[in-house]
Amino acid sequence: MGQLSSSETKDDSLKHAYSEAELRALFQARAASLLSKGEIAAVASRVNMKDTDEADAVLTLTDLAALLNLSQADDNSTRVTKDNPTEEHEGEEDVTNPEGHSVRSEKSHLDAVVAVLYRSFTILGRLPFLSNSISKREQLTMRQFVLALAVHLGGVAKVWPEFDYLKILFISLALIPSNNSQQETDEKAAEYSKDSKSPTASAQDDKEFTLQGPQRPRRPQQKNTTGQDYEAKYSVELNLVSHETTEPIRFASRRIKWESFMPLCNYDGIDVTKLSVSSNDLLQLFILLLMAHSIPSQSHTIMQRQMWHLISQTWTSFEAVAYSLLRYIDLEIAPANRTGVSVSYEAYKHGMENAMSGMVEESFRKFVKTSLLLSSVGSLGHNDQLKSIVKDVPSKAFNSTRLVNEATISLLSLFAEGLNADVKITPQNMVELYNGAQSGFSIRSLELKIFKWQAPTILLVSGKRLRNKTILKNRRYQQFDLEYPRHFRSSEDPKKSWQSDNDKITYAVFVRQPWRNSNKTNFGDEESTIMCLLPRFDIFKSKRGQVLAGRLIYFNNQGMGIGFGNEQPVNKNNTRRHLPGSVSLTIEANLEFGIFRHIVNAGANTPRFFETSSQDTVRDQDYEDRFMITDLEVWGVGSTKELDEQRKQWEWEEKQAQARQGVNLRNLGEERAFLEMAGLVGNQGSGGSV
């Protein structure tokens, strides 16, 4: 590559003109340097790369699956090649190319997930230039893969102050191929070149340096107004950290002030409000991340084994809860229309921030690190040593029920994390206390099973939406209806457009305090929370304030059942009447019927113990879910001692893996070229830190 000139500015910084291809290579090198030595070595141990030129080699779907341990092939090592990039994709074009969001029906569930990840990683690998037209044949390279890892592991945030993980993830899922010409790209790039000097200008008094190392192909030369060839340049600021006239690419990448580089600051001018993501793509991603989220941090080998168990045995269960999450984002999404509905950025952002908190970023990071570190430990032959040093933490077998399985627990843990309390919900610390299908549906049986438990509990109740036949003919329901005050007039149809007669309805309630008889006085604290699991995800947190403390829950064994968000029911002088709150869940005394009420425009005297929904469509609507109970279970949330032991084991193993990888950097063979690409070894390598 020829020499490029730069000029010193008044604020003691330098400016330099680079082409898009050069800046992309520089940012990829900078991103690689932000990964730790262990993370880079973990990838290197899976990639047999003979020289740094192969850093631009194409990865196939199979390669990506192997790198992320999403394939069960005997040999999970990946051999990158610079052959025809379409060779291994022949017959898979509709999956590997980012032409749209659908996948072939005959592909397995896992193949669909890998296809979504492949396209997303390819887009992330284009940073910092995202708005350029995307070729329908563009495929993922090893260098792009490493950049995508730096995004998901959070490394790029060190040089990108405006970094918003959820935003960049949305962009990577939303961008689709375009047939736009390159002319728009060059016109936009030219705007950044106003302060830069021509690459042919004299530079006797300016710093000059030549970029060394692998380079991406330069885009075609364009014609300026005089008919001369040129390539649009970007003017970037440099840090005054070196006086060398020539610098390796890894050092040059550190000199650039990426924090002031406009395509990073403004996401290359992309207007995310004009983008949308396929609900089917989000579904695939949610399934994978919910699985990762459900696995507690422990031995990487055990975590990967559990991940494969979930993928092979529980996919349908996780798909159901993933749909529930999707319906929080957009209530119109259903299995029948999942490929035809797109999600806007506004709906995506609202759903991610209000329902999923940091789950997506945390789970993606856990998934990637577990996959890479497992492969690294195995490839270095230390599994036997690890087993001899670290004792397996004994864990009780988890037996799923009709309401609680690994997928349900993953969803339950979402709202537990949002409580800001020291409560962890995992299969390892969930204890079944009461199961109506086994112990019988009676409030006496329920009382005997749960009252001795002196730790937090979760009550789950599920059933089928009441149909007109039951409402008109079931005498037990009619008696309950007489005791439960109506909100909707008899002439109104209370059912909303998003409610279906075929809905399966499931609610869960987190109760921090021990259960007790409360025939006169309610109990419950500010951490009490109602959550809807099916047919859509929603959370109803308790209102804060001393006035409401201890008044959220009653357990009445004198014929009035169980209530959450209600006042104590009236039961005297032959008068029986429920006093439901504006947001409340009421279970009648025979455990046969339940009513969830959500009244935004309630009267002044109506109790208000729980917040209304934060879901966009529902939060301003008055509605009820009336259902016939088919299942009722109560689970205790046990001690976190076992989880602490697992966490300590996981931390120990991670430190050992990182240490071994650092030692083995000097002993790597073909992988050494990969580390040289990242600037971790070789001439004047300085490691993987900022």
Please spell the DSSP secondary structure of 103-148, one letter per residue.
--TTS-HHHHHHHHHHHHHHHHTTTT--SS---TT---BHHHHHHH
Whether 278 is covered by a domain: the verdict is no
pLDDT at 2: 40
Whether 353 is covered by a domain: the verdict is no
Place of tokens 């007489």: 482
Range with lowest mean pLDDT among 418-422, 425-429, 583-587: 418-422
Task: Mark whether 662 and 604 lie in a shared domain.
Answer: no
Q: Residue length, the chain? A: 690
pLDDT at 654: 60
Whether 477 is covered by a domain: the verdict is yes
- Chain segment 223-257, per-residue pLDDT in tens: 444 444 445 566 666 655 544 434 566 677 777 88
CB atoms closer than 10 angstroms to residue 70: 22
Q: How far is CA 421 from the centre of its chain?
A: 21
- Which tokens in the block code for residue 202? 């004299």
**How many domains, the chain?**
2
Q: Is 29 strand, coil or helix?
A: helix
Give the residue among 150, 142, 23, 259 at the shortest CA–CA distance from 676: 142
What mean pLDDT do residues 373-393 have?
A: 42
Task: Mark whether 74 and 122 lie in a shared domain.
Answer: yes
Task: Mark whether 663 and 580 lie in a shared domain.
Answer: no
CB atoms closer than 10 angstroms to residue 607: 19
678 touches 155 (CB < 8 A)? no
pTM of the model: 0.76
What mean pLDDT do residues 434-445 have?
A: 92
pLDDT at 530: 94
* 229-230/504-511 β-pairing: unpaired
Whether 161 is covered by a domain: the verdict is yes
498 touches 517 (CB < 8 A)? no
Task: Mark whether 598 and 632 lie in a shared domain.
Answer: yes
* 211-212/247-248 β-pairing: parallel
Residue 82 domain boundaries: 4-199+208-215+232-270+655-678
Task: Mark whether 78 and 178 lie in a shared domain.
Answer: yes
Whether 188 is covered by a domain: the verdict is yes
pLDDT at 630: 96
Task: Mark whether 39 and 180 lie in a shared domain.
Answer: yes
The amino acid at 416: A
Burial 321-340 (b: 16+ CB within 10 A, else e): bbbbbbbbbbbebbeeebee
Whether 684 is covered by a domain: the verdict is no
pLDDT at 117: 92
Confidence of residue 586 (pLDDT cuts 50, 70, 90): very high
Q: With left for phi above 0 and alpha for psi between -120 and 50, is residue 280 left, alpha or beta? A: alpha
Task: Mark whether 563 and 479 lie in a shared domain.
Answer: yes
Whether 371 is covered by a domain: the verdict is no
Give the residue among 344, 347, 351, 350 at the shortest CA–CA distance from 324: 351
Give the residue among 688, 411, 445 at the shortest CA–CA distance from 557: 445
- Which tokens in the block code for residue 527? 């951490």
pLDDT at 3: 43
| DSSP secondary structure, 461-480, as one string | EEEEEPPHHHHHH-HHHHHH
Gap between the Cα atoms of 414 and 392, Å rounded: 27
Task: Mark whether 633 and 543 lie in a shared domain.
Answer: yes
- Which tokens in the block code for residue 588? 């009648």
Identify the DSSP state of 543. Answer: P
> Cβ contacts of residue 483 below 8 Å, gap of 6+?
569, 576, 577, 578
Q: Is 656 strand, coil or helix?
A: helix
Task: Mark whether 605 and 667 lie in a shared domain.
Answer: no
- Which tokens in the block code for residue 520? 């006169």
What mean pLDDT do residues 326-333 have?
A: 90
Task: Mark whether 11 and 64 lie in a shared domain.
Answer: yes
pLDDT at 491: 75
Task: Mark whether 133 and 11 lie in a shared domain.
Answer: yes
Give the residue among 532, 510, 326, 540 at the shortest CA–CA distance from 424: 510
Whether 610 is covered by a domain: the verdict is yes
Task: Mark whether 42 and 181 lie in a shared domain.
Answer: yes
